[in-house]
Chain A
């Protein structure tokens, strides 16, 4: 049962091969017996899950089951879940029991999904390795000495280890796509505004977006249908109909125009990864696609622009953590300033403090034009590159990451080196475009991700392209050798 996709499990539930309770108990028992090796969960919500599974089975018995009824999944611990600890992997929120559900959580609950627990992540989603978690790093099931990527590393590791069939993630600069690539799973970052951010703890509000993580594009389509849509509680959520993403999965790719940005195949890229990506592109040619080289000339601006905009917005968003209304409070504050400074100094980890300080500096008097305004102008140039390219091609393809999964501890002493991990993913968040990562090969036994980028609200096209690739190849079915039945 543990090796089935959401679509297969939905079929099994509908056919009465097993109940949601049996499925949920099986997932919980795998998490309990195996997650010590991966540390992919911060909280396992056993009681909640069993209750939801029983309710799902009753609904099914009454003939009222929907597509998602009784399917288990996990939520990244950045999404508020009423009555359940929501820590954002920070000491600051280690004691925080969310008083309400994020819209995305509510939608999955209403669809009848079963919440198995809350997954590990980089603290406040700031990181590319899951090493900044207050609860310790999650580990990559393909090699537990290596990182699963981040920030949605726990979600990716849990799926790769077959502890859960699917999980939610968030992506501010690559936090769904990069861990998906490093763990050999499928992840989608939707268009900015496609999925509500209400109840998703804010990092950089003009970049943050939630999305599905699963083993297949088919499953990601099922999840996105539940997640997407207008929400009056998020003022940046877009009022636009949600298509049936599953309906177009099998559309022909005959005549699909693929662009390969030459800047994504330059010096920084591991040649073995380049080869795997080129092999994947040849598969698309066999499926009828045409390929041409394109240019995104402002690619080099993405990392510097991102590391102004994201920390600036983070420093503003994280000012709400003041030790007064919720979260960590220091012992015996002598006055209000001491309360603020020590609660924040003790409650936040190293990387979070570093980004708050970068953002504070960039926004401080006299520096705004030189940093934040300049970065927003660079952001416009980056967006124009994509708009130009997407007028000539239907999708853009390239590597998701420059290297396969690196060793735990390898990059922790040098933040700038860690930031370069996201050189191919950051630009999409700045432009607000949707993108996917799908497994497309292996390098020295470690998974490689193919990034597929589309136009605004072209999620159905991305899922179609990814699904056809997964019908023609079997990289997405490969499992780490270490996983046990």
Chain B
């Protein structure tokens, strides 16, 4: 299906992606082309076909509910953009 400019702006918002104004027409075109490609599936009869989520139809393996990780906060936060007192910093959320 062909997308409108407003569809692309809405999708970009849902995905939390900033798209420059001048990029919107290009994305509208290529996303429409991709949706036209995947829409070929609609012609296939899939009545009674069980959806396949996992190639080996495996079930989720569970482990014992015990502590298995050591605290690596400092190491993991060493790559964070902004940290203070062991906390990740973001712009003020509550005024």
The interface of chain A, by Cβ under 8 A from chain B, is 95-97, 99, 191-193, 206, 232, 235-236, 238, 298, 300-301, 303-305, 307-308, 315, 319, 322-329, 333-342, 344-346, 348, 353-354, 356-358, 360-362, 364, 370-371, 373-381, 383, 414-416, 419, 430-433, 456
- In angstroms, how far is the closest chain B Cβ from the Cβ of A307? 5
Q: Tell me the bound Cα distance from A326 to B30 in angstroms.
A: 30
B66 at the interface (CB under 8 A from A): no
A301 interface neighbour in B19, B41, B80, Cβ under 8 Å: B41
Chain B residues, Cβ within 8 Å of A335: 91-93
Tell whether A356 pairs with B46 under 8 Å between CB atoms, given A304-B37, A329-B81: no
Chain B residues, Cβ within 8 Å of A376: 51-53
Chain A residues, Cβ within 8 Å of B34: 307, 354, 358, 415-416, 419
Q: Tell me the bound Cα distance from A218 to B51 in angstroms.
A: 38
**Closest Cβ neighbor of B68 among chain A residues:** A232
Tell whether A235 pairs with B46 under 8 Å between CB atoms, given A206-B55, A337-B16, A358-B35: no
Q: Tell me the bound Cα distance from A303 to B46 in angstroms.
A: 17
Q: Tell me the bound Cα distance from A206 to B11 in angstroms.
A: 24
- In angstroms, how far is the closest chain B Cβ from the Cβ of A425? 15
Q: Can you name 8 A-B residue pairings with CB atoms under 8 Å?
A: A99-B78, A323-B81, A324-B81, A327-B79, A345-B19, A377-B50, A416-B33, A419-B37
A238 interface neighbour in B56, B63, B72, Cβ under 8 Å: B56
- In angstroms, how far is the closest chain B Cβ from the Cβ of A91? 14
18 further A-B pairs in the complex, CB-CB below 8 A; given A95-B79, A235-B61: A96-B79, A97-B79, A192-B56, A324-B80, A324-B81, A325-B88, A327-B81, A336-B93, A345-B20, A348-B17, A357-B17, A360-B11, A360-B14, A374-B42, A376-B52, A378-B46, A381-B49, A432-B56
> When each residue 50-93 of chain B gets 1 if its CB lies under 8 Å from chain A and 0 otherwise, what string results?
11111110101101000000001001101111100000101111
- In angstroms, how far is the closest chain B Cβ from the Cβ of A141? 31
Tell whether A416 pairs with B37 under 8 Å between CB atoms, given A353-B19, A381-B46: yes
B2 at the interface (CB under 8 A from A): no
Whether A338 contacts B91 by the Cβ 8 Å rule is yes
User: How many residue pairs at the A-B interface have CB separations less than 8 Å?
Assistant: 168
> When each residue 26-45 of chain B gets 1 if its CB lies under 8 Å from chain A and 0 otherwise, what string results?
01001101110111111010
Q: Tell me the bound Cα distance from A246 to B8 in angstroms.
A: 52
Q: Tell me the bound Cα distance from A303 to B19 in angstroms.
A: 27
Tell whether A415 pairs with B15 under 8 Å between CB atoms, given A339-B90, A380-B52, A383-B52: no
B6 at the interface (CB under 8 A from A): no
Q: Tell me the bound Cα distance from A97 to B39 in angstroms.
A: 40
Q: Tell me the bound Cα distance from A431 to B37 in angstroms.
A: 20
Whether A341 contacts B16 by the Cβ 8 Å rule is yes
Q: Tell me the bound Cα distance from A381 to B49 in angstroms.
A: 8
Chain B residues, Cβ within 8 Å of A360: 11, 14-15
Q: Tell me the bound Cα distance from A315 to B31 in angstroms.
A: 14
Whether B18 contacts A346 by the Cβ 8 Å rule is yes
Whether B40 contacts A300 by the Cβ 8 Å rule is yes
Please name the 7 residue pairs, one residue from A and one from B, whose CB atoms are nearest each other, closest first. Answer: A432-B55, A345-B18, A376-B51, A329-B81, A377-B46, A341-B18, A380-B52
**Closest Cβ neighbor of B60 among chain A residues:** A235
